[in-house]
Amino acid sequence: MKKIKLSVFSSGVGSNLLAIHKASIKKNFPGKLNLVVCDKICPAFKLAKSLNYETKLISSLDHKKFEELVHDELIKYKIDLICLAGFMRILSPNFVSKWKNKILNIHPSILPSFPGLNTHKKVLSNGLKIHGSTVHVVNEKLDSGKILGQFAIPVINDDIVFLRDNIKKYENMFYPEVIRKYIWTFIFKKDNFTSKKLRDNKEIIFSY
């Protein structure tokens, strides 16, 4: 099977990185993880190194310089699609335009509700009974790109750690699936492995 080249950007613990890794080594997954970019030494960085991926630590405080270095690495490794996974830097409109429709992000809320940080706290503070995550295409505005998929789960208590971990568990199953469907539909432009709902609406809405 033809596989496109993926890069994961991460600043966090690496659970979604690990999920993408596990998906990408399967024969029927249309992407191969070729490069991991981290902006600090974090568990994701150590995980990527332990899995023997090309792993770049780019921590320049100068935003323009940071993006220039990252862009050069992406070109060097001929990356086709970038998957943000707990990446805490906001990418500039200039960078996003260079990689238009080639950057995906998973955000821990049911967008358009609660863009930005501290989503679990906001859900609990507002007394909501449903929480979830959204996979979207990255555009020039924060957490506002085209929605590709969402899932929702019940909030069963006010324990923020339990809520965070539960959301993460579902993200780890969900993100690779949406990446797979995005590659087949929008990059390969084939209907293989895609639902009629995705073909018709260009969106995937999942509920668990």
Q: Any idea which residues carry the catalytic annotation?
A: 107
- Which residues, including other chains, have CB under 8 Å from residue 127's CB and lie 6 or more apart? none
Asked if residue 154 has a cis previous peptide bond (ω within 30° of 0), the answer is: no
Q: Residue 105: left (phi > 0), alpha (psi -120 to 50), or beta?
A: beta
Closest to 7 (Cα-Cα) out of 114, 116, 80: 80
- The pair of three-digit structure tokens given for residue 58, joined into one six-digit string: 């780019």
Closest to 124 (Cα-Cα) out of 181, 77, 162: 162
Query: Could you tell me the maximum CA-CA distance found in the chain, to the nearest angstrom?
Result: 47
